[in-house]
């Protein structure tokens, strides 16, 4: 049966313990044939430009986004197999899959945590990375300082790509930031993301990555929209 799967269920898991309650699993070679899988996903997704509210105006994100229901008729084989594997391996029903397309090294995702999940004490975020390898940075959450004083000494940098699986777990979204910085590559990269939260603990009420930060008396506007 394994020979028919698009994923390698027996690929070794490399766990990095970020701190006592946060960890990340990296599974190199999770996708058996990453290049055909990339092309299948690239064609299957309807890619859209999204915009983020920053202070009082919308600005386009430097990437494209899409959504793949795991049980849709035209769902790529890789998405179906990964969805079932994650449920079996982590014993939770993860929602997915959201898709992100980085068209080249100028597209990026800033350091953030997925606060829109609200309950951050115990979460899972799984990402299948297709295409070019690029740095994936983790940084401990800390007090904000001047930009030139940002402390990178405790950064943890992984290089997923070419069909690897990365899973963030525990309190990673509560205590750590993660992101994909700009790069010098001209090649594309696709991230497929599944998420789950235990909904235990105190809900996070701080503004999330996609919410607009406003310094006026106007009512807060919704944080995201799809560009027309």
Q: Which residues of 1-28 are buried (b: 16+ CB within 10 A; e: fewer)?
A: eeeeebbbeebeeeeeebeeebbbbbbb
Q: Is residue 175 part of a domain?
A: yes
Q: Is residue 164 part of a domain?
A: yes
What pLDDT score does 207 carry? 57
Q: Is residue 34 part of a domain?
A: yes
What pLDDT score does 214 carry? 43
Domain containing residue 14: CATH number = 2.60.120.590
Per the structure, the count of domains in the chain is: 1
Q: Is residue 40 part of a domain?
A: yes
What pLDDT score does 149 carry? 66
What pLDDT score does 215 carry? 43
**DSSP-assigned letters across all residues of 152-201:** -TT-EEE---TTEEEEEEETHHHHEEEEE---S--S-EEEEEEEEE---S
The model carries a pTM of 0.86
pLDDT tens across the length of the chain (228 residues): 344 789 999 999 999 999 999 999 999 999 999 999 999 999 999 999 988 777 677 888 899 999 997 777 778 999 999 999 999 999 999 987 999 999 999 999 999 999 889 999 999 999 999 999 999 999 999 765 455 566 788 899 999 999 999 999 999 999 999 999 999 999 999 999 999 999 988 888 765 555 544 444 455 555 566 665
Q: How far apart are the first and last CA of the chain?
A: 45
Q: Is residue 174 part of a domain?
A: yes
Q: Is residue 199 part of a domain?
A: yes
Cα–Cα distance for residue pair 91/85, rounded to 1 Å = 10
Q: Is residue 217 part of a domain?
A: no
Which domain does 108 fall in, by range?
Answer: 2-207
SS3 71: coil
């Amino acid at each position: 049966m394994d020979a028919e799967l698009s994923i390698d269920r027996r690929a070794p898991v490399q766990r990095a313990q970020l701190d006592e309650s946060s960890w990340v699993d990296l599974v190199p070679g999770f996708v058996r044939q990453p290049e055909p899988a990339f092309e299948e996903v690239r064609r299957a997704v309807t890619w859209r430009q999204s915009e983020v509210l920053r202070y009082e105006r919308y600005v386009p994100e430097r990437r494209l986004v899409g959504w793949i229901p795991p049980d849709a008729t035209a769902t790529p084989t890789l998405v179906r197999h990964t969805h079932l594997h994650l449920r079996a391996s982590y014993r939770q029903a993860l929602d997915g899959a959201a898709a992100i397309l980085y068209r080249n090294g100028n597209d990026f995702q800033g350091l953030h945590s997925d606060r829109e999940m609200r309950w951050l004490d115990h979460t899972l975020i799984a990402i299948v990375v297709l295409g070019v390898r690029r740095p994936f940075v983790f940084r401990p959450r800390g007090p904000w300082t001047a930009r030139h004083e940002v402390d990178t000494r405790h950064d943890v940098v992984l290089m997923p790509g070419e069909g690897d699986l990365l899973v963030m777990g525990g309190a990673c979204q509560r205590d750590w930031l993660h992101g994909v910085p700009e790069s010098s590559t001209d090649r594309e990269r696709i991230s497929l993301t599944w998420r789950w939260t235990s909904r235990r603990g105190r809900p996070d009420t701080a503004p999330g990555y996609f919410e607009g930060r406003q310094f006026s008396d106007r009512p807060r506007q919704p944080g995201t929209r799809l560009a027309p």
